[in-house]
Structure 1
Amino acid sequence: MAEGTKNPVRFLREVGREMKRVSWPTRKELTKYTIVVVLTIAFFVVFFAVVDLGLSELVRLLLD
């Protein structure tokens, strides 16, 4: 068994200690990263919608 599963209290204390050591992003960095993620997702949504539309039209032309 893993060390942390033998003693849940000890495990949670160690998790708390590790969380204090984490380098958290600032509000400005978090906002910037969120905007980048949303724009990237929007780009891929549009890209795949265009590809899907194009392939649908190609199949329609081939089958007619």
Structure 2
Amino acid sequence: MKRSFKSLFSFFTESWSELKKVRWPSRKELKNYTLIVLGTIVVIALYFWVLDIGISAVIEAII
């Protein structure tokens, strides 16, 4: 039991140490990355929407 608390404490200590090494993005970078992700999602959603309409049209033409 004592060993598990020691290893748990060690885990959190090492995790905190690793988090200090991380280079976090600035507010401007975060905003840009967010806009890129949202733009990519919109483009992919539009692609699949057009693809769905096309496939639906083909199926309607067959039936």
Where does structure 1 lack aligned partners over 5 or more consecutive residues? 1-5
- Matched-pair identity in %: 38
- The runs of at least 4 consecutive aligned structure 1 residues that moved more than 6 Å come to none
Q: 1:15-59, CA deviations, whole angstroms, 9 ceiling, x for partnerless residues?
A: 000000001111100000000000000111111001001100101
Aligned to 1:28: 28
For normalisation by structure 2, the TM-score amounts to 0.88
The root-mean-square deviation of aligned C-alpha atoms, in Å, is 1.0
For normalisation by structure 1, the TM-score amounts to 0.86
Aligned residues: 58
Aligned to 2:45: 45
- Higher RCO structure (Cα 8 Å, ≥6 apart): 1
